[in-house]
């Protein structure tokens, strides 16, 4: 009886090992070439770099596909976020001027009320208006931040990324002048 149990267990073990090997290796077949989830239709280079005006520097990110000129007295700090996101802090030495750009992958086409509620937890969203920035629809509004006080917010979506630009409200016209230089990098686009 004992021999029968050992043979039965051994047989089950052998079947399990063969089954696991077949499952891991897969059935014998010719592999099918898979198409990547995205296909870049043309391999032209991205928009070439521009020359910043006097008194400005260029910030360029080919990953996030944008370029902006900012005053040369500012420094840029990069803070990685979750899910391939980033926060860029542009600030001067005495911290009297600055703005931040938060970027995160986003699959939607619109900025929703739920998104605003999640990303603007103060709940302050006043003086909404819409405009465009290099072809992207932009939502601007006055907000509030515990460390900055009253803020001017500029939010937009382009090429699968959500961009949230924030500056103190008192620097609104300064920020607008900087954002006028913002362009999105595109394949084959010339300036």
Q: What is the pLDDT of residues 37-67, one digit of tens each?
A: 333 445 678 889 899 999 999 999 999 999 9
Q: Give the per-residue pLDDT at 106.
A: 92
Contact yes or no for 150/144 (Cβ under 8 A): yes
pLDDT digit string (tens) for 97-143? 999 999 999 998 899 888 888 888 788 899 999 999 999 999 999 99
Q: How confident is the model at residue 181 (pLDDT cuts 50, 70, 90)?
A: very high
Burial readout 116-126 (b: 16 or more C-beta within 10 A, e: otherwise): beeebeeeebe
- Asked whether the predicted pLDDT for residue 13 surpasses 90, the reply is no
When pLDDT is averaged across residues 139-149 and rounded to a whole number, the result is 92
Comparing CA positions, the residue from 188, 141, 191 lying closest to residue 169 is: 141
> What is the per-residue pLDDT for 52?
96
Q: Are 96 and 80 in contact (CB under 8 A)?
A: no
Q: What pLDDT is attached to residue 43?
A: 64
User: Which domains can be identified in the chain, with CATH numbers?
Assistant: 56-184 (3.40.1000.10)
More confident residue, 186 or 128: 128
**For residue 138, with 0-12 CB atoms within 10 Å meaning exposed, 13-18 middle and 19 or more buried, which class applies?**
buried
CA distance 148 to 145: 5
69-108 pLDDT, tens digit each:
999 999 999 999 988 899 999 999 999 999 999 999 999 8
């Amino acid at each position: 009886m004992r021999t029968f149990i050992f043979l039965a267990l051994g047989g089950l073990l052998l079947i399990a090992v063969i089954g696991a090997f077949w499952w891991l290796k897969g059935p014998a077949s010719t592999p099918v070439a898979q198409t990547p989830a995205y296909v870049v239709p043309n391999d032209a280079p991205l928009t070439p770099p521009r020359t910043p005006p006097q008194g400005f520097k260029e910030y360029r990110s080919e990953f996030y596909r944008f370029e902006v000129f900012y005053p040369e007295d500012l420094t840029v700090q990069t803070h990685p976020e979750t899910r391939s996101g980033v926060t860029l802090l542009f600030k001067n030495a005495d911290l009297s001027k600055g703005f931040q750009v938060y970027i995160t992958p986003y699959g939607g086409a619109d900025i929703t009320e739920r998104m605003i509620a999640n990303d603007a937890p103060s709940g302050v969203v006043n003086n909404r208006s819409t405009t465009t920035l290099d072809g992207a629809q932009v939502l601007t509004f006055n907000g509030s931040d515990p460390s900055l006080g009253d803020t001017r917010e500029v939010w937009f979506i382009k090429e699968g990324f959500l961009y949230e630009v924030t500056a103190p409200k008192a620097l609104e016209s300064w920020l607008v002048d900087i954002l006028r230089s913002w362009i999105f990098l595109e394949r084959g686009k010339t300036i």
